[in-house]
Amino acid sequence: MRNHELFPYDRSLLLRMVLVSVFTPLLVIAIVVGAILALPNPFQFVLAGVIVCGATMATWERNRLAGGAVLREQDAPELFATVDRLCAVADLPRPELVLERESQPNSWIVAAPGRRPRLHVTKPLLELLDRNELQAVLAHELSHLASRDAAVMTVVGMPGTVLLAGARRASRAGWWLIIVGAMIAAAIGSFSRLGTNALSRYRELAADQGAAAITGHPSALASALLKVSSALAQLPTADLRAVAARDGFHLVATGANQTSWRALNRLLNRFSATHPPLARRLAALEQLERHAQRARPAL
């Protein structure tokens, strides 16, 4: 059940979820069908091959780079205790916890239909944040579950993520037909994510607000965002590009280019941001902190 005191209905978020759920699949189908009809025979087969092989390669690369392990309670008792407390406050069932073997400090949540949601955290994130900051980040991810935008992003946003990751792998091939097909697949993946990116930018602000409502300490989330952003800026670009296709799901975007073609990036740059600017998130959290300070009784 949704806790309406902590997570009041957000009509703007609901409208975005509905529009993305309806129009993004239609846009992808229209682009793919149009590309197949417009392309000569060799490219039709190449495009189909890139889409199929790209999904396979993206899954393989995802497993190779991350190798996330589902945690048991005895593996991380403090982490489980923290999540249990937050779930009790938010009136949510506990998701599965997955520890990811990535060099970036980040978190995200995946909610596939018919499956228990999975809350992913990386080891560098756990090492970087203190207890209050980690609690705020986990509350942020749980807010995505409460608002149900995690399910929409998983169902609608994952195909674009797979296409982009698969195109990145295929672009390394030496055969020009494969490279052209990869460019087409990347374009389709990028356009398919225009709607989900707009949803992602808004849902991050909503989840920040939800985290502040759960924990009562917006400043802890602001501190965590600053730490994670600073740590990401110090990582090698190659490490960030390996996970950039999944930025729409991350707590903080890696900031790496999602394709290898600058012209395509420039064309879509205005609409391709997956997160609102950090300064905007911090300003909103600062305002929430001022309200929280006024609401707290004087000692």
Look at residue 254 in the predicted model and tell me its pLDDT: 82
Q: What length does the chain have?
A: 299
Question: What does the pLDDT read at residue 165?
Answer: 66
HEC readout, 241-285: HCCHHHHHHCCCCCCCCCCCCHHHHHHHHHHHCCCCCHHHHHHHH
What is the rounded distance in angstroms from the CA atom of residue 112 to the CA atom of residue 158? 10
Catalytic residue at 141? Answer: yes
Q: What is the DSSP string of 167-190?
A: HHHHTT-S-HHHHHHHHHHHHHHH
The pLDDT value recorded for residue 83 is: 97
Backbone torsions φ then ψ of 99, nearest 5 degrees: -95, 120
**pLDDT value, residue 66:** 45
Collect the ranges in the chain with pLDDT lower than 70.
Answer: 1-4, 42-43, 46-67, 159-182, 184-185, 242, 245, 255-272, 295-299
Closest alpha carbon to 98 in 78, 79, 112 = 79
Phi, psi of 120 (to 5 degrees): -100, 135
What pLDDT is attached to residue 194?
75
Question: Could you tell me the pTM of the whole model?
Answer: 0.80
Q: What is the pLDDT of residue 170?
A: 64
Plot region of 114 (φ>0 → left; ψ -120 to 50 → alpha; else → beta): left
Q: Phi and psi of 76, rounded to 5°? A: -150, 70
Q: Which one of the listed residues 100, 102, 133, 141 is annotated catalytic?
A: 141
Q: What is the pLDDT of residue 298?
A: 46
